[in-house]
Structure 1
Amino acid sequence: MFRSLGLSTTAEAVYRAMLAEPTWGVAELARSVEVSTRQVHDALDELIELALVRESGDIPGRLRPTNPEVGLAPLLARARASIARQQYEIEATQAAVEALAEAHSDNRQRDRLVRLPTLDAVRDRLEHLAALAGSECLSFIPGGPRKLDAIAVSRPFHRRALEHGITVRAVYQDSFRNDPETLAYARWFSEMGGEARTVPLIHFQLTVVDRRLALLPIDPADPRKGAVEIHSPGVTTAVCALFDQVWSSATPFGSAAPVDDNGLEPPERELLRLLGDGHTDESAARRLGLSVRTIQRMMSDLTDRLGAASRFQAGANAVRQHWL
């Protein structure tokens, strides 16, 4: 019943038995649940991790179960938050599918969707669009292994647009602050008159011109595979709304990243979310554009601050303490 809360079947059975008979030891629990004593010990370790079992204050060495309303509430809150995130992603995906369906239908007119199959084709098209832009250009510049390709494509586009007096706004990942190449580019961009901000995580590269056409990568993980130029109002409205939302919460270039009431910086909050969604250190590092060593150092610090003995317990404590 509680598998959705991260509790194994054996651990749940042991927990229920302890609630019914708080004085039972390992042997009695094993007989009641019909498992080996080794399995009971593993289940107790799991229950301790989830703060569902703790040491008795009256009898040293004895474990006692936590009140279900107290112990299970944080796990339930975490499960609800995960479901809410999944629901949001499903709704966002549905909106993207509907927008792409509209773009696909309009593509019959041959002027609604254009495939740019190479990085050079994207660069050439961006230079042309910079000359045609009338008022505004918006960009997402991802970090990690994609940053150099993203910068190579964006520089001539940004330069020409800025030289023509166009308002240019770009959002980078926070990790650029520690990357010499991206930091140098962001400084050049700001000195040219561009407006730059940062967020912990950018999922894909994006360029929007005059809020009427958008360039999206064919493969967000590999800009070298080219892009798709979309003129569909449904798609451009959606990506502009996304950009505006990200921009409003981003940190202006040159300002310190904001710290929330729990003392968390944006990358720390995003790391907790990623690890809570099941990402490894390696995949979290790729998403955030940071080194694995930096991620491990951040997680070690967060675990200490949360008073946790493990990452799993850190996730549960983060939910319990309203860090997420």
Structure 2
Amino acid sequence: MSSRAEAVYRAMLGGPDHGVDDLATDTGLPVTEVRTALNELADLALLRPSAHRSGLRAVSPQVGLAALLAAAEAESAARQAQIEATRAAIASIAAEHEHGPDGDGARRLEGLDTVRFRLEELQQLTEFECLSLNPGGAHLPDARDAAKPLNQQALERGVVIRAVCRESFRNDTDTLAYARWMTGLGGQMRTVPAVPMPLVIVDRKVAILPIDPSDARVGALEVHSQGMLAAVCALFEQIWVTGTPFGQQAPTDSHGCTPMERKLLEIISDGHTDEVAARNLGISLRTVRRMMADLMDRLDAASRFQAGVNATKRGWL
């Protein structure tokens, strides 16, 4: 019922004998709007022919409005039944996809397109939580644009989203803006110097793992095994507690090292090249070399090997 029709209905209840002109005076509405309101009330079955005079009378609220409420409730119940039927159909279809040839509720998702399609399905079905490890740097525009409405829908229905990304993603303006947008809606994001592999965990029931961590194009494995899920959830939580919340500066330790500097020292101490360090940290080779030169100077080291030795002796690692 419109506010105009409600005003006329109340006026008719207060003045059963009032005609159109009287109702216009009572409500302060033009006569044309009163007539339009009367038509609306008639359509809602809130008017009846008057037995005492020509014209119409208002049906009592206990009868007319109760009938409207019953009709609205019946319509709402029918709509809810349709929603439940749709939800059951989605669950049934999803269940068919959750058991594949790999056994134990796991299946292969061949290629990037298949992985993205399945992630979109899972995000629509997420009930309370989505966790992810993101080793890439800047998000590709098409992937970012595709994920944005899905993330917004999930957050609006109360899903907790926690994401761990590489520190280097802050160097990309568009990805940084996307992170601000997502955290502004309630999503949570932390950064670490290096992320070991891509990972998505949905409701602690499903995990998407790379078939080949070094080449995402190969595809992924969808896992439902409770043992595997316990392991990857523990991995995520371990990395999460070491991350820096988005919007905060990465803290330095008692030796003045940032998390990225410590990670660089670990990589170099393990015998890896600057090129490997740059790839793992998602930063340029030039930046790695600049950081390493600074660390060597602070550690009084003449070589990378000596820097690693000195860092261990001084308790930096």
| Amino acid of the structure 1 residue aligned with 2:260 | P
Number of residue-to-residue matches in the alignment: 218
Quick check: which has more Rg, 1 or 2?
Answer: 2
Residue of structure 2 in register with 1:249 after alignment: 242
Q: Following TM superposition, by how much is the alpha carbon of 1:224 offset from its aligned partner in structure 2, in angstroms?
A: 2.2
Identity of aligned residues (%): 56
* Other-structure match for 1:127: 120
- Map residues 122-271 of structure 1 onto 2, 5 A cutoff: 122-144=115-137, 147-148=139-140, 151=144, 154-155=147-148, 157-271=150-264
Q: In structure 2, do the counterparts of structure 1 residues 156 and 221 end up closer, same or farther at CA, with 3 Å as the change threshold?
A: farther
- 1:86-101 equivalence runs, <5 A: none
Query: Structure 1's 120 and 160: CA in aligned 2 closer, same or farther, altered over 3 A?
Result: farther
TM-superposed deviation, 1:161:
2.0
Per-residue CA deviations over 1:179-199 (Å, capped at 9, x if unaligned) read 223312211221222100011
Shift of residue 315, structure 1, vs aligned partner:
1.2
Corresponding residue number in structure 1 for 2:87:
none
1:279 is matched with 272
How many angstroms does 1:107 deviate by? 6.2
Give the whole-Å Cα distance in 1 for the aligned partners of 2:144 and 2:311: 36
Compared with structure 1, are the counterparts of its residues 142 and 155 closer, same or farther at alpha carbon in structure 2 (3 Å cutoff)? Answer: farther
Structure 1 residues 206 and 280: CA distance shift in structure 2, 3 A: same
Note the aligned Cα RMSD (angstroms): 2.1
Tell me the distance in 2 between the aligned counterparts of 1:255 and 1:291.
Answer: 23
- Say if 1:191 and 1:208 are closer, same or farther in 2 by CA, change over 3 A: same
Partner of 2:303: 310
Letter in 1 for 2:217: R
CA distance in 1, matches of 2:279, 2:115: 24
In structure 2, the CA distance between the partners of 1:160 and 1:126, relative to structure 1 (3 Å rule), is farther
Distance in 2 between residues matched to 1:170 and 1:204, nearest whole Å: 13
SS in 2 for 1:270: helix
Indicate conservation of the 8 Å contact 1:201/1:270, yes or no. Answer: yes
**Aligned partner of residue 107 in structure 2, secondary structure:** strand
Residue identity matched to 2:176: L
Tell me, yes or no, if the aligned pair for 1:127 and 1:156 is still in contact at 8 Å: no
Q: CA deviation at 1:163?
A: 3.2
Whether contact under 8 Å (1:173, 1:289) holds in the other structure is yes
Contact 2:101 2:107 in 1 (8 A): no
**1:204 to 1:153, Cα distance in 2 relative to 1, 3 A:** farther
Q: Secondary structure at the match of 1:208?
A: strand
Counterpart secondary structure, 2:234 = helix
User: Deviations along 1:37-96, whole A, 9 cap, x unmatched?
Assistant: xxxxxxxxxxxxxxxxxxxxxxxxxxxxxxxxxxxxxxxxxxxxxxxxxxxxxxxxxxxx
Q: CA deviation at 1:319?
A: 1.1
Give TM-score, length-normalised by structure 2.
0.64
Structure 2 stretches of 5 or more lacking a match? 1-98
Structure 1 residues without counterparts, runs of 5 or longer: 1-105
User: Is the alpha carbon distance of 1:320 and 1:128 closer, same or farther for their aligned partners in structure 2, counting shifts above 3 Å?
Assistant: same
Q: Which has the higher contact order (CA 8 A, sep 6+)?
A: 1
Amino acid at match of 1:240: C
Cα distance in 1 for residues equivalent to 2:157 and 2:256: 42
Displacement of 1:172 after TM fit?
0.6
Distance 2:196 2:185 in 1: 26
Counterpart CA distance in 1 for 2:279 and 2:139 is 11
| Distance apart, 1:157 and its partner CA | 4.5
